[in-house]
């Protein structure tokens, strides 16, 4: 699946993660036979993908033509919430989510794009992007061979960090970036259909730690640390402490890091035929840190907007569709992301004693009567001042 790149394309998608793959698939579904390229600096199915791989089942089903059984490691039937003192609150919700095999999903979606005529080149790193000149943006790339191409529209899905379009009036994936780490571990016992989330400063200050099963033998154990805490509690140190104290019998095979750009800053998602989607557009949920479906939705919406603007020569006409792209994404995710982002500081600073108190009262409720709303409210009532601090959750602006 390594196509030679042409010197000119209608659309170039940079990055073959969830955002880029959905962008490429959406573009390739157009009846017009556009010239489309999808590049990634590495094979997007290289294992392990930097992720815990949990998604909502319904959300994924709504985005892809078919959720192939081979991408699915297993169902998520509930969550174990673990308080700082180790009290475990079980929350059951059958079939609510999926643990996916992202590497395989990436591979199959890339193959499908390729089958539909997208030029895929997966060992090619974009190194620079020019401004729009005479209807084209020029991209330089490294790889074998290195080169240069021009594209009428570029969709930047290159993940977190300062991506392309720096200096232009467009968002970057560098807002509230948090460090995350995960290890693939063996030697533990756990139900494969439950994810486990650990809250508290002793586990992961400002964030949370997790165990997400991959199968019966291997689990993904990791954590994300809040940006404000990352200096005092470097993620590596927190991770070492978490595994040593919680899973002393763990046999670690791989440790890998990543960055999570949280929240949704109010900046344009597109300018001059450059679109941002996924982590490159800062689309991650600030508290759950989920970004897979957010990225896929962003990639799809960006491509749909780009298909409308490609034939427009005037930026004034294109702006309407840029705004529509942003509004669509805001309606699905962005508005709630912004609200959650406002409450995040208070949420992540909830004292361990409050979390423990909430957990103690929740375990007294029969499991079948526990709802997420009840868990949330029990935590709030354990410290009513939190309700005031988290008022951002309930206001639109």
Ligand X SMILES: Cc1cc2nc3c(=O)[nH]c(=O)nc-3n(C[C@H](O)[C@H](O)[C@H](O)COP(=O)(O)OP(=O)(O)OC[C@H]3O[C@@H](n4cnc5c(N)ncnc54)[C@H](O)[C@@H]3O)c2cc1C
CB of 277: closest distance to ligand X in angstroms? 7
Which residues between 288 and 317 bind ligand X (CB under 6 A)? 289-292, 295
DSSP for 287-312?
TT---HHHHHHHHHHHHHHHHHHTT-
Instruction: Read off the DSSP letter of residue 175.
Output: S
What's the closest the beta carbon of residue 55 comes to ligand X, in angstroms?
6
55 near ligand X, judged by CB under 6 A? yes
The pattern of x and - marking residues 112 through 141 that bind ligand X according to CB under 6 A reads -------------xx---------------
- Min separation Cβ 236 and ligand X, Å: 13
Of 279 and 304, the one with the shorter C-beta distance to ligand X is 279
- Binding to ligand X (CB under 6 A): which residues in 241-270? 258, 260
CB 125 within 8 A of CB 143: yes
Measured distance CA(350)–CA(206) in Å, rounded: 9
**Of residues 160, 177, 182, 158, the one with CA closest to residue 53:** 182
Q: Rule CB under 6 A: say whether 213 interacts with ligand X.
A: no
The nearest distance, CB 381 to ligand X, in angstroms, is 29
Residue appearing with tokens 């994936």: 173
Distances (CA, A) of 33 to 9, 11, 36, 118, 263: 11, 11, 9, 10, 36
DSSP-assigned beta bridge partners for residue 274: 154, 271
CB environment 109-144: b (16+ within 10 A), e (fewer): bbebbbeeebbbbbebebeebeebeeebbbbebebe
Rule CB under 6 A: say whether 209 interacts with ligand X.
no
Q: Among 9-17, 197-205, 372-380, 386-394, which window interacts with ligand X (CB under 6 A)?
A: 9-17
Using CB under 6 A, which of 9, 10, 40, 154 touches ligand X? Answer: 40
Q: Cα dihedral sign for 384, 390, 391, 394?
A: negative
Q: Using the rule CB under 6 A, give the single segment among 15-23, 90-98, 201-209, 330-338 that binds ligand X.
A: 15-23
Instruction: Give the binding site for ligand X (CB under 6 A).
Output: 14-20, 39-42, 44, 50-55, 125-126, 157-159, 180, 182, 222, 258, 260, 278-280, 284, 289-292, 295
């Amino acid at each position: 699946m390594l196509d030679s790149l042409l010197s000119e394309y209608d659309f170039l998608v940079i990055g073959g993660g969830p955002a880029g793959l959905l962008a490429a698939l959406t573009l390739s579904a157009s009846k017009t036979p556009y010239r489309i390229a999808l590049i990634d600096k590495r094979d997007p199915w290289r294992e392990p993908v930097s992720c815990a791989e949990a998604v909502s089942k319904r959300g994924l089903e709504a985005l892809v033509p078919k959720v192939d059984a081979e991408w699915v490691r297993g169902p998520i039937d509930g969550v174990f919430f673990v308080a700082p003192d180790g009290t475990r609150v079980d929350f059951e919700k059958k079939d609510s989510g999926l643990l996916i095999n992202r590497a395989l999903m990436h591979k199959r979606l890339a193959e499908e794009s390729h089958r539909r005529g997208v030029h895929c080149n997966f060992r090619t790193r974009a190194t620079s992007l020019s401004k729009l000149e005479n209807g084209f943006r020029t991209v330089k790339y490294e790889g074998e061979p290195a080169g240069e191409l021009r594209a009428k529209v570029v969709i930047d899905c290159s993940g977190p960090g300062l991506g392309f379009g720096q200096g232009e009036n467009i968002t970057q994936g560098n807002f509230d970036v948090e460090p995350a780490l995960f290890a693939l571990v063996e030697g533990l016992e756990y139900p494969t259909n439950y994810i486990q989330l650990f809250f508290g400063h002793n586990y992961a200050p400002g964030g949370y730690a997790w165990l997400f099963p991959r199968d019966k033998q291997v689990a993904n154990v990791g954590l994300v640390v809040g940006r404000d805490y990352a200096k005092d509690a470097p993620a590596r140190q927190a991770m070492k402490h978490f595994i040593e104290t919680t899973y002393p019998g763990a046999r670690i095979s791989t440790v890998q890091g990543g960055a999570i750009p949280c929240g949704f800053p109010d900046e344009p998602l597109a300018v001059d035929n450059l679109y941002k989607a996924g982590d490159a557009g800062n689309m991650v949920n600030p508290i759950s840190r989920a970004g897979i479906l957010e990225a896929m939705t962003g990639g799809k919406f960006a491509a749909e907007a780009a298909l409308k603007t490609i034939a427009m020569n005037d930026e004034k006409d294109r702006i309407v569709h840029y705004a529509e792209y942003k509004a669509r994404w805001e309606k699905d995710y962005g508005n709630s992301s912004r609200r959650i982002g406002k409450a995040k500081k208070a949420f992540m600073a909830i004292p361990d004693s409050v979390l423990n108190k909430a957990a103690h009262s929740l375990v007294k409720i029969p499991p079948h009567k526990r709802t997420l709303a009840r868990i949330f409210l029990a935590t709030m009532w354990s410290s009513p001042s939190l309700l005031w601090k988290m008022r951002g959750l309930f206001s639109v602006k």
